[in-house]
Amino acid sequence: MVEEIRVLILEDVPLDAELIETQLKREGLEFKSKVVDNEEMYRKEIAEFQPSIILADHSLPKFDGITAMNIARKITPNTPFIFVSGKIGEDFAVEMLKEGATDYVLKNNLSKLPHAVIRALKEAKEKMEKIATEEALREREEKYRNLFEYLPNYLIVLGLDGKIIDLNYAAAKFSPLSREDTVGMYFTDLQSITGEDSSFYQEMFSKFLEGEEIG
């Protein structure tokens, strides 16, 4: 199912807002739009309309694009924000991009707007997917970390050199040393401290390194 595109347009000239919508439709974009021209309505539509992208004029009688961008960054930081203005200096445009704007398009060159919108939406989607993937990975790591930590069995993670990389709570209680001091030791040294016979474990570890089956 294709996600609905919701376009919030901050523009005080109705004809300009209509031209923006027309240009997007010419490129085959299917979307719903809301047009606002003041801060109160802008904040209201961000909360209720939840735009996929914001297209904002730089200068309005009762509002301005810079303030609008800063509001969007606080309320909905992952929503693309594109300046669509009649006149905008290159230095200003560069500064706004540094401050968090996604792009800018001049009103006398609206043919570039659909491509800017498509690119911004694509990048936003990829960013959100990356965030979701990283969050899922963190949750999975936490889940398995808790499982590893609180199993009643001794669990010790070794590097290929035989040094202890990690150990769970049960194994840490087995060691007479602190957990911090135990990490980095050779597992055979740990067993010699505890009085355990390490020959069996050394043999198992050697078989593992040689790729032999351990039964």
Write the secondary structure of 128-159 as one string of H (helix), E (strand) and C (coil).
HHHHHHHHHHHHHHHHHHHHHHHCCCCCEEEC
Question: Mean pLDDT throughout 51-73?
Answer: 94
Can you tell me which residue has the tokens 């974009």?
29
What pTM was computed for the model? 0.68
On whether both 106 and 181 belong to a single domain, the answer is: no
pLDDT value at residue 24: 95
**What tens digit of pLDDT does each residue of 85-136 get?**
887 777 888 888 888 899 999 999 999 999 999 999 999 999 999 999 999 9
Beta strands 164-167 and 156-158, pairing class: antiparallel
Fill in the DSSP letter of residue 177: S
- Whether 32 has a pLDDT exceeding 50, the answer reads yes
- Whether 193 has a pLDDT exceeding 70, the answer reads no
Question: Mean pLDDT throughout 44-58?
Answer: 96
On whether both 78 and 111 belong to a single domain, the answer is: yes
DSSP helix/strand/coil, 211:
coil
On whether both 158 and 111 belong to a single domain, the answer is: no
On whether both 94 and 162 belong to a single domain, the answer is: no
CATH of the domain at 29: 3.40.50.2300
Asked if residue 198 is part of any domain, the answer here is yes
For 46-87, the DSSP string reads HHHT--SEEEE-SB-SS-BHHHHHHHHHHH-TTS-EEEEES-
- Output 66 or 192, whichever has higher pLDDT: 66
Domain extent at residue 34: 5-136
User: Which of 136, 163, 185 is the last residue before a domain boundary?
Assistant: 136
- Output 211 or 63, whichever has higher pLDDT: 63
Can you tell me which residue has the tokens 């001794």?
154
pLDDT value at residue 1: 42
Range with the lowest mean pLDDT among 74-78, 126-130, 204-208?
Answer: 204-208
Q: What is d(CA 197, CA 205) in angstroms, rounded to the nearest whole number? A: 14
User: Which of 103, 136, 169 is the last residue before a domain boundary?
Assistant: 136
**What tens digit of pLDDT does each residue of 13-24 get?**
999 999 999 999
On whether both 171 and 132 belong to a single domain, the answer is: no
pLDDT range class, residue 201, cuts 50, 70, 90: low
Residue 135 burial by Cβ neighbours in a 10 Å radius (0-12, 13-18, 19+): exposed
Give me the number of domains the chain comprises. 2
- Output 158 or 211, whichever has higher pLDDT: 158
